[in-house]
């Protein structure tokens, strides 16, 4: 049976992911919308790696940093593309230092074109695991 803490973290991640995804339905009229999407991405990514950390701990695997969590999640088949998750981590780290429009737009496009898919894959995988474990 999956722990209550892990289930709550998963619910928080799902909600954040859905809010990030719905942000792409908004017409981009100015940079504020892109900034908002990037902020939602930051929040969703933080929940994603902490969710993976909690799941790995549930499986008896102790890791702490985002990079080590991603590596262990890949090695334990929780995620399928470790390199893309490292790229996502790098983009997340860049968001703390965005001072120009070009970098902001680059990260926005990465979120839209690449990162959303990997976050969605994690959501689906954990939904299957939780369903299986809670039978």
pLDDT given at position 44: 98
The answer to whether the CB of 38 falls within 8 A of the CB of 105 is: no
Q: What is the pLDDT of residue 26?
A: 87
The whole-number pLDDT of residue 100 equals 85
- Count CB neighbours of 108 within 10 A: 20
pLDDT attached to residue 30 = 80
Instruction: pLDDT tens for the chain, 135 residues: list them.
Output: 778 999 999 999 999 999 999 999 988 878 889 999 999 999 999 999 999 999 999 999 999 999 999 999 999 999 999 999 999 999 999 998 777 888 999 999 999 999 999 999 999 999 999 999 887
Q: CATH homologous superfamily of domain 4-133?
A: Nucleotidyltransferases  domain 2 (1.20.120.330)
How many other CB atoms are found less than 10 A from the CB of residue 120? 12
Residue keyed to tokens 């803490």: 5
CB atoms closer than 10 angstroms to residue 109: 12
pLDDT of residue 97: 78
């Amino acid at each position: 049976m999956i722990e209550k803490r892990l289930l709550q973290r998963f619910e928080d991640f799902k909600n954040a992911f859905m809010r990030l995804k719905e942000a792409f339905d908004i017409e981009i009229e100015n940079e504020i919308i892109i900034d908002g999407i990037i902020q939602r991405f930051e929040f969703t990514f933080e929940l994603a790696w902490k969710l993976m950390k909690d799941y790995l701990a549930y499986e008896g695997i102790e890791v702490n940093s985002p990079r080590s969590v991603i590596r262990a999640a890949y090695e334990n088949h929780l995620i399928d593309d470790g390199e893309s998750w490292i790229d996502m981590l790098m983009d997340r780290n860049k968001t703390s230092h965005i001072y120009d429009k070009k970098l902001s737009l680059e990260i926005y496009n990465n979120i839209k074109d690449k990162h959303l898919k990997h976050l969605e894959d994690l959501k689906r995988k954990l939904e299957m695991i939780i369903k299986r474990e809670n039978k």
